[in-house]
Amino acid sequence: MSDAHMPPAHPFDYDGSSDGDKLREECGIFGVVGLSDAANFVALGLHALQHRGQEAGGIVSYQPDQGFNSARRFGYVRDNFTKQSLMETLPGQLAIGHVRYSTAGSKGPTAIRDVQPFFGEFSMGGAAIAHNGNITNADALRREMIDRGSIFQSSSDSECIIHLMARSLQRDIPARMEDALRRVEGAFSVVAMTRTKLIGVRDPLGVRPLVLGRIGDGWCLSSETCALDIIGAEYVREIEPGEMVVITAEKGVESHHPFRPARPRFCIFEHVYFSRPDSIIGGRSVYETRRQIGVELAREAAVDADLVCPVPDSGTPAAIGFAHESGIPYGMGIVRNQYMGRTFIEPTEQIRNMGVRLKLNVNRALIRGKKVILVDDSVVRGTTSRKIKEMILDAGAKEVHFRIASPPTAWPCFYGVDTPQREKLLAATMSEDEMCAHLGVDSLRFISLDGLYRAVGEAGGRDPDQPQYCDACFSGEYPVEPADMIEKGFQMKAAE
Ligand code: SF4
């Protein structure tokens, strides 16, 4: 078996961590129509979306004289989809691609057959599809279709959509996709392609992101605007919750609304952590929102200290906001090794035991003798936070205060984000005081849910009757019932 078909031996996260102490977005998607060598643009787009999935990636392209071509590989985009010999096998003006981590509930690394995009051949032609998110009734749908004779080749939700499309009686592929997507529940943003069309869809609540861009005579769809920037595309707009766009080079963008209208519930954690800080969400700079989270946090959880330090890199904008609002000096008390992920592809046990020191080092000269506020984006299991606290105290800090730019993560996400089981989430089993004692820090405070809502632009905070965002991992209030997980024994929060 070639390397391309083997999962990486020790996959490291983009930030160099591999200890499951961060929530991880599971996928990024990108598609292009109307540009020569579309696959090259898709590869660049996926490279910009690499933070959303680093285990594997795939691209499908279409060229009239060659039909559909595809390549799926484990590893980083830059290590695979930059090779001329591979990219030459993906010709055409239409292409879609996908980067991924393994999906919710899967054990261990992915098999290459689970790597998207997926392809289906229908009587009216072929279609390839890739999605970001999670279908919460996929198990039930899969059982139903297997009972009726479907043969599945992967464990991916996307394959469910292909099988549902195959069963539809509609006469064209976009209509079959509408039929299929009306049967699925959950959170999904989809990019798909036929021989002539690029298709994008967001679920009715718009939980996962998808944006439209324009470049020359071509169009593109992307999980985030940062991937439009890398190819020089102009940001046009977000695909609306519940909208399907069908795009051709000749006719441009056709908009459909196949679902019953619903109140949008975009993932609030995209603002906190998943999206890149140079992306725009809902017309707001992600960087600026994160800085504002730090401002709110400083208002809610002030403490007497000498220095505000970010836990790099994701805590940086909130730390800048915290320092600005509190008037306490900001400093790089922790420095990240940018090359961690590539240096130790297969670390020895001894090196792995060094844990967080492999990727983060303390700036001793700055820390010594100071009362330090550490600003991080989230606490999931708390393992990394404990190690960082030890490093800061070893460096001679007088006090360590944690300030967290999200509310306590007490519930798992079932909408396309890799979360530990509920019992492994620190906040699921401990109060804030207990977490503070467990981490061994002088104080620990999280931003409130209302504070987070204010920071993302909801001046009145969270509407408890009709929350404006999905915040289930903090509140336990799931906007779409996770049917498959309930069947597997997951206990929803009791009604208050
Ligand atoms: S549960 Fe949390 S991470 Fe998942 S979609 Fe909702 S807000 Fe985002």
Instruction: Give the residue from 186, 375, 378 showing the smallest Cα distance to 269.
Output: 378
Rounded to whole angstroms, the Cα distance separating 266 from 147 reads 34
Q: Which DSSP category does 159 fall into? A: H
Q: Which of 267, 275, 475 to mutate to test the pocket of ligand 1 (most atoms within 8 A of CB)?
A: 267
Rounded to whole angstroms, the Cα distance separating 170 from 96 reads 23
Q: Which of 103, 473, 474, 480 to mutate to test the pocket of ligand 1 (most atoms within 8 A of CB)?
A: 473
How many angstroms is it from 318 CA to the middle of ligand 1? 19
Rounded to whole angstroms, the Cα distance separating 210 from 221 reads 7
Cβ of 442: how many Cβ atoms within 10 Å? Answer: 17
Active site residues: 27
- CB under 6 Å to ligand 1: residues? 207, 267-269, 413, 415, 417, 470-473
Q: Which DSSP category does 51 fall into? A: G
Burial class, 488, CB count within 10 angstroms (exposed 0-12 / middle 13-18 / buried 19+): exposed
The ranges of the chain with pLDDT < 70 are 1-21, 25, 102-110, 339-355, 496
Per-residue model confidence as pLDDT tens digits over 476-488 = 999 999 998 999 9
Q: Which atom of ligand 1 is nearest to the CA of 274?
A: 3
Q: Which atom of ligand 1 is nearest to the CA of 267?
A: 8
How many angstroms is it from 134 CA to the middle of ligand 1? 11
In degrees and rounded to multiples of 5, residue 281 shows phi and psi of -125, 130
Q: How far is CA 390 from CA 104, 314, 394, in A?
A: 32, 20, 6
Q: Which of 205, 273, 409, 470 to mutate to test the pocket of ligand 1 (most atoms within 8 A of CB)?
A: 470
How many angstroms is it from 268 CA to the middle of ligand 1? 7
Strand ranges for 257-325 from DSSP E: 266-267, 280-281, 284-285, 307-310
User: What's the pLDDT score for residue 197?
Assistant: 98
How many angstroms is it from 483 CA to the middle of ligand 1? 16
User: What's the pLDDT score for residue 17?
Assistant: 40
Rounded to whole angstroms, the Cα distance separating 441 from 390 reads 9
Rounded to whole angstroms, the Cα distance separating 142 from 149 reads 11
Q: Which atom of ligand 1 is nearest to the CA of 472?
A: 1
Q: Which of 103, 134, 207 to mutate to test the pocket of ligand 1 (most atoms within 8 A of CB)?
A: 207
Q: Which domains does the chain have, with CATH numbers?
A: 3-267 (3.60.20.10), 286-487 (3.40.50.2020)
Rg (CA), the chain: 23
Q: Which residue, by CA, sits nearest to atom 8 of ligand 1?
A: 267
How many angstroms is it from 181 CA to the middle of ligand 1? 21
User: What's the pLDDT score for residue 79?
Assistant: 94
Q: Which atom of ligand 1 is nearest to the CA of 409?
A: 2
How many angstroms is it from 413 CA to the middle of ligand 1? 5
Q: Which atom of ligand 1 is nearest to the CA of 208?
A: 5
How many angstroms is it from 207 CA to the middle of ligand 1? 8
pTM of the model: 0.92
Q: Which residue, by CA, sits nearest to atom 4 of ligand 1?
A: 413
Per-residue model confidence as pLDDT tens digits over 462-477 = 999 999 999 999 999 9
Q: Which atom of ligand 1 is nearest to the CA of 411?
A: 1
Tell me the three state secondary structure of residue 121: strand
CB contact burial 464-476 (16+ within 10 A = b; e otherwise) = eeebbbbbbbbbb
Rounded to whole angstroms, the Cα distance separating 351 from 370 reads 30
Rounded to whole angstroms, the Cα distance separating 69 from 443 reads 56
User: What's the pLDDT score for residue 7?
Assistant: 44
User: What's the pLDDT score for residue 354?
Assistant: 62
Give me the amino acid identity at 225: T
Per-residue model confidence as pLDDT tens digits over 76-89 = 999 999 999 999 99
Per-residue model confidence as pLDDT tens digits over 271-306 = 999 999 999 999 999 999 999 999 999 999 999 999
Q: Is the peptide bond before 209 cis (omega within 30 degrees of 0)?
A: no
Question: Which residues, 6 or more positions from 72, have their beta carbon under 8 angstroms from its beta carbon?
Answer: 4, 56, 57, 58, 112, 115, 116
Q: Please answer whether residues 12 and 40 qualify as being in contact, where contact means their C-beta atoms are separated by less than 8 angstroms.
A: no
Instruction: Give the residue from 222, 100, 93, 82 showing the smallest Cα distance to 158.
Output: 100
User: What's the pLDDT score for residue 348?
Assistant: 57
Rounded to whole angstroms, the Cα distance separating 382 from 375 reads 14
User: What's the pLDDT score for residue 6?
Assistant: 46
Instruction: Give the residue from 30, 477, 471 showing the smallest Cα distance to 266.
Output: 471
Q: How far is CA 138 from CA 113, 164, 291, 317, 327, in A?
A: 17, 11, 38, 37, 50
Q: Which DSSP category does 208 fall into? A: S
Q: Please answer whether residues 198 and 95 qualify as being in contact, where contact means their C-beta atoms are separated by less than 8 angstroms.
A: no
How many angstroms is it from 344 CA to the middle of ligand 1? 31
